[in-house]
Amino acid sequence: MKLFVGLGNPGGTYAKNRHNIGFMAMDQIASDHGFAPWKSKFQGDITEGRLGGEKVLLLKPGTFMNRSGQSVQAAMQFYKLEPGDVTVFHDELDLAPGKCRVKQGGGHAGHNGLRSIHGHIGEAYARVRLGIGHPGHKDKVAGYVLHDFAKAEEVWLDDLLRGLSDGAPQLADGDAGKFMNAVALRVAPPRSSSSPAQKGGKADVPKPAPPPEPETATDTRNPLQKLVDRFR
């Protein structure tokens, strides 16, 4: 059994915040893959289903971001899971919007949700880092992550969430490479190969019309003038 954890803050006020992209990922996966209805348990919301050949739990901690570890630890203890069975989906300031990276273990880089999880279960869990971009200055970070995604960001956000859902079965099976390929097909689909230029060749360019043949003047000389001109 695997445990996927999406990080965010509970309540409608925060539902569309950048900080809640982990919750959004869990909702997308649950909806697309026919998971059971969400239940309130382990100080959060949890649902159960299958991804590929793996039984998977999806968890959205309801303890607020900086206490996420309490909910994660409670679910792990109940199901007798190890940190290696856990994958956490979270917002990442250091990645460009729409980018996604998978990481195994390591530090929390100041992320309050990861910091809390570190404190409760250690660092040997996997993370799916979801890029939201950086506001440009550290003093603006708190307001930035606790603000809703802008209207202009909805397209890449939808593509990313659908890509995460597409690749979720591969991630549950432990194939991070195929998971990343599935995400990439959504956020950066290959170009259409319908035209010669897009196949790597050159598009047909109309050839220029050939220059007109020079006109030949009509010879109006009589035979005697032609003979005389030959001996000049």
Q: In whole angstroms, give the CA distance from residue 111 to residue 89.
A: 12
161's CB contacts (< 8 A; 6+ apart) are 24, 25, 28
The burial of 215, by beta-carbon neighbours within 10 Å (0-12 exposed, 13-18 middle, 19 or more buried), is given as: exposed
Backbone angles phi, psi at 3, to 5 degrees: -120, 115
Q: Are 22 and 89 in contact (CB under 8 A)?
A: yes
Catalytic residue among 19, 33, 118, 120: 19
Q: What is the β-pairing status of strands 126-131 and 86-92?
A: parallel
Q: Give the chain's length.
A: 232
| 19 labelled catalytic | yes
- Cβ 118 vs Cβ 70: under 8 Å: no
Tell me the C-alpha distance between 27 and 14, whole Å: 15
C-alpha distance from residue 224 to each of 72, 217, 228, 231 (Å): 115, 19, 6, 11
Q: Annotated catalytic sites, by residue?
A: 19
